Amino acid sequence: MPVKLLVLFYSRSGSTEALAVAAAEAAREVGAEVRLRRAREVAPASVIDKSEAWRREADRMNALYPSPETDDTLWADAILFGTPCYFGAMATELKAVLDQLGPQWKKGQLAGKVGGAFASVSWPHGGSEVVTMSLYAPMAHLGMIIVPTGYTDEVMLEAGSPYGASTVVGAENRPPREEDLAAIRHQGRRMVQIAGALSAGDAMRG
């Protein structure tokens, strides 16, 4: 059975999206089934419409990626969360998805699933590590098996952090560097590898 990976992200201007897409591609290359889901805006339309770029990018991405549904989290063997860093915290849009998982938490339905996180920031010390680690807390509460990237591949020496891949986009919102893409690709493959090993162990135990 192929590993099922859910890449659940929010992105306002495409940087976190680029990481999410790279993770999905890498996971598919190693045989996983992947669902890419974009959390939807929670800001009022009147606010979004004041930014031509926000409105345009939200419409573009929403046409490409379905909204996350409960079924997606239940379907997945592994969930990779991606968020921009907003004032050192995850995007409200992603938190809103997490905050709807109460019924699944109560039934323990996400327990044992493999979890990981990645982030986008504007500045080198803008909070990528803290925001990535902030996703560890809900994963722990849900009983997920948190898989950090560590330095499990030499690409992690050049980008991201031991907690997860990341990209630093600057005020001009630069595209992720090749090194950033290599790190998120490694993370996507690693999620699949660990989830696959856990499934194989379960199958052996019957």
3-class SS at 32?
A: coil
Binding-site size, ligand FMN (CB under 6 A) = 20
C-beta of 78: minimal distance to ligand FMN in Å?
21
Q: For ligand FMN, which residue of 69, 74, 123, 150 counts as binding (CB under 6 A)?
A: 123
| 105 lies in the binding site for ligand FMN (CB under 6 A) | no
Please name the residue that has the structure tokens 């998120």. Answer: 184
Helix axes 178-205, 15-29, angle to 10 degrees: 50
C-beta of 33: minimal distance to ligand FMN in Å?
24
C-beta of 200: minimal distance to ligand FMN in Å?
34
Exposure string of 181-206, with b = 16+ CB inside 10 Å and e = fewer, is bbbbbbbbbbbbbbbbebbeeeeeee
Select the span of 14-22, 69-77, 97-105, 198-206 touching ligand FMN (CB under 6 A).
14-22
The contacts of residue 4 (CB under 8 Å, 6+ apart) are 32, 33, 34, 35, 75, 76, 77, 78
| 87 lies in the binding site for ligand FMN (CB under 6 A) | yes
| Alpha carbon separation from 57 to 11, 52, 81 (Å, rounded) | 9, 9, 19
Distance between CA atoms of residues 134 and 151, nearest Å: 20
Q: For ligand FMN, which residue of 28, 43, 55, 86 counts as binding (CB under 6 A)?
A: 86
| 148 lies in the binding site for ligand FMN (CB under 6 A) | no
Site mask for ligand FMN (CB under 6 A), range 173-202, x = bound: x-----------------------------
Q: For ligand FMN, which residue of 126, 138, 176, 196 counts as binding (CB under 6 A)?
A: 126
Which residues form the interface with ligand FMN (CB under 6 A)? Answer: 11-17, 84-88, 120-123, 126-127, 169, 173
